[in-house]
Chain A
Amino acid sequence: MKRSDSEKITLFQNLVLCHLDSAYNYAYWLCHNKHDAEDICQEACTKAYSAFDRFEANNAKAWLLTIIRHTFLSNIRKNKQSAEIIPFDLHSQNDILPEALHDKHSPEIDLLRFNNQNIVRKAIDTLNTEHREIIILRELEDLSYSEIADILDCAIGTVMSRLSRARTQLNTILMHSFQTMEKKA
């Protein structure tokens, strides 16, 4: 192996591969299963390495997550027959009435619905992909609005409105799940 190759790999490891956990986490939440997440990560890292010579930006994490997203979307396009994942469908929860963030509940209800691990996890899983990914990028990956805008290739204003809608949607699902659980009990 040429010396420059070994240097390139070391640099790639230090700059880009150190964000592999974030990349995997994002991929997992996008596609909901570990096998697809692993495939997406491998494909995205190969693409990132091939394009690494042209990488000029200073935010390697946002760059890698952008490639993860593109890989996920292009795989979806390739496997359109897979009806399981319908990405970025804004209207997948039309049957649940919106529970606006300002609809007031008793502190006990708020405490119970926000502190039930199963309900919270299931609620995030139920979000459509567009809303789920923005919640994950913001809360779990702790990215700024500007970094999220770069990854989603949209304006910061769009990030603001999408995040606001995502939280309203998450609140709706949490309340709906909580009420269903209460009825069953």
Chain B
Amino acid sequence: MTCNYDEKLINAYADKQLDAANMVEVEQHISSCKECDYVYQNIVSLKNAVNKHAEIHSAPEHVREKILGDLHNIPDHQITTIPPLARSRTFYFLAAASLLFITVFVGSFFHHHLEEEKLINNLLSSHVNAINANRLTDIQSTRVEQLYSWFTQKLDFSPKLVDISSEGLQLLGGRLDTLEKQRVAAITYKLGHHIVNVYTWPSPEKQDAIEEAHSKQGYQVVYWCNDYMNYWIVSDANKSTILDLAKHIQNKLTDETKKH
């Protein structure tokens, strides 16, 4: 195959799972590229073949009845049986307090850790997919004001944007994305030959300091929170550069907040 157009996009086009802009782009490519049109026709034939020939198994009636019957016997709450041993009130108090401590502190630590790990994976996917799918920006602009008004029209929050362009850091534009089940603003920069994505969306926290960068699969991911907004930076530039950039944006944001 001489055309190296991304087959993932042709699949998503056949499934009608792309946004309007990408649907048009793939459609235009397919109509002008015979190879990709063949790939598309092949996908459609595969889809039809599966739909036509793969058997859909319906739940047998006895399974439905058994499940319904079982529901009546499931207790509302998990009942914990307490061993019938004579224990003092202090023992129960200490046991309950320890259990609460373990549940709340250890549980929330692991929950938080897992949630953060999942978010970092999603940020990396978003960053990599935007590059692979050649969809770095929905709007190309080198002006922060233009990006701000575009985002404000598309999102149900107003992202706080600061002008940090410099000789080495070029603002490319903005993109909408979905993370943590909500729409977020992604601002894209070019730093030398590296792409930098800055993601932002509202946070319930007021402030959160910049921590060490998370290094994963060759990418650096840095988080902080500023005036009730989350900020995440993802890039394959080196760690110290990204941390410096994060601090630079944070300082600019703090200055802007003070001004208002």
Residues of A within 8 A of B (CB): 1, 5, 8-9, 12-13, 17, 20-21, 23-25, 28-29, 34, 37-38, 41-42, 45-46, 49-50, 53, 100-102, 104, 110, 114-115, 117, 120-121, 124, 135-136, 138-140, 144-146, 153, 155-158, 160-161, 163-164, 167-168, 170-171, 174
Residues of A contacting B50 in the complex (Cβ-Cβ under 8 angstroms)? 120, 124, 135, 139-140, 170
With the chains together, A45 CA to B43 CA distance in Å?
35
B46 in contact with A164 (CB, 8 Å): no
Given contacts A20-B59, A24-B63, A145-B12, 7 further A-B contacts (CB under 8 A): A20-B63, A25-B56, A42-B70, A120-B54, A121-B55, A164-B8, A167-B11
- Supposing A46-B70, A114-B49, A145-B15 touch, asked if A25 and B57 sit within 8 A by C-beta, the answer is yes
A28 in contact with B68 (CB, 8 Å): no
Residues of A contacting B178 in the complex (Cβ-Cβ under 8 angstroms)? 146
Residues of B within 8 A of A (CB): 1, 7-8, 11-12, 15, 17, 35-36, 38-39, 42-43, 45-60, 63-64, 66-68, 70-72, 74, 76, 78, 118, 121-122, 125-126, 128-129, 178
A139 in contact with B68 (CB, 8 Å): no
A110 in contact with B71 (CB, 8 Å): no
Q: Shortest Cβ distance from B160 into chain A, in angstroms?
A: 26
Residue of A whose beta carbon sits closest to that of B17: A145
- In the complex, 21 of the A-B residue pairs with CB atoms within 8 angstroms, ordered by the A residue number, are A17-B67, A17-B68, A20-B59, A20-B63, A24-B60, A25-B58, A42-B66, A45-B67, A102-B35, A114-B49, A117-B52, A120-B50, A124-B54, A139-B51, A140-B54, A145-B15, A153-B118, A156-B129, A164-B7, A164-B8, A164-B11
For A156, give its contact among B64, B66, B125 (CB under 8 Å).
Answer: B125
Give the one of B7, B35, B47 with max A CB within 10 A: B7
Give the one of B38, B45, B53 with max A CB within 10 A: B53
For B68, give its contact among A13, A144, A174 (CB under 8 Å).
Answer: A13
- Supposing A50-B74, A157-B126, A160-B12 touch, asked if A136 and B54 sit within 8 A by C-beta, the answer is yes
B59 in contact with A121 (CB, 8 Å): no
B43 in contact with A167 (CB, 8 Å): yes
B49 in contact with A38 (CB, 8 Å): no
Residues of A contacting B38 in the complex (Cβ-Cβ under 8 angstroms)? 102, 104
B57 in contact with A110 (CB, 8 Å): no
Residue of A whose beta carbon sits closest to that of B51: A139
